[in-house]
Every structure is written in C-alpha cells, then in structure tokens.
Amino acid sequence: MMKKLLLIGLIVILFTSIGSAQMGSGMMGGQRGGSGQMMPQQGMMGQQQMMGNMMDMMHQMSQMMSQMSSTMKDMPAGNMKDMSTIMKDMSKQMMEMSEIMEKGMASEDNMKKMSDNLQMMKKRMSEMKK
C-alpha cells in the first residue's frame, strides 16, 4: 500500500510540474526580441530544444516509475532504502525541471547535468534488479 502511495505521489508531482509549465509558457521571462521570441544567450538552450529535452526526461522518468512498481513487488527489504533514495532523487530532479520551466530557459550545462543524473538513477535501478 505504501509503495502505491509513493508511486502515485511521484506521478502527481510529475503532472503538476507539467501543468504549471504549460500554464506559464505564455508568460515566460527572459530577454525577448521585438517578435516576442526569446533571444538565446551564449551557453543557453533555445526554448524548443529545452522543452524537447524536458519531455524526453519526463518520458524516461515515467518508464522508470513503471519499472519501480514491478521491481518493488519482489524487492528484498534491504533494497527498500536504495529505492527510496532513487525516488527522492527523481522528485528532486522533477522540482529542478519545474524551476527551469518556470524561468523559461536553461543552460546547456544544466540540462546535461540533469540528463546525467537521470542516467545514474536508471543505472542504480537496473543494479537493484540483479
């Protein structure tokens, strides 16, 4: 029962961050040119590229959450702490993504760091299955 509540909580956080990003997308801050488009700064990622990367990461997280539910069924008690840590890391990553969406811009380094963190979470989850 607790596992389902944690999974549902993560899904709610995910959809909340997506919803807030969609609501705020028309009022994003940053430098704007005369046409209303954001002007990319050096090292900054364009909005379309950023949103594409965010959607890819959310898709990967969704897949990981699906795997979590099946993994947790047969999980030994010793691995529950590790799974809890991964879930906390995912929640933290979703909050970071939400903050970036709120700002409306992200640096390429920041997006790479988040992608690397996600890959590490996936690796830790796959190691738990062994």
Q: 86 or 24: which carries more pLDDT confidence?
A: 86
Q: Residue 88's Cα: distance from chain center in Å? A: 12
For residue 89, with 0-12 CB atoms within 10 Å meaning exposed, 13-18 middle and 19 or more buried, which class applies?
A: middle
Report the pLDDT averaged over residues 33-37: 42
pLDDT band for 31, please (50, 70, 90 cuts): very low
- What is the predicted pLDDT for the residue at 34? 40
Q: 106 or 44: which carries more pLDDT confidence?
A: 106
Report the pLDDT averaged over residues 45-70: 82
Task: Give the list of residues 6+ apart from residue 83 with CB closer than 8 angstroms, or none.
Answer: 68, 71, 72, 75, 125, 128
Q: Considering the entire predicted model, what is its pTM? A: 0.58
Please say if the pLDDT value at position 91 is more than 50: yes
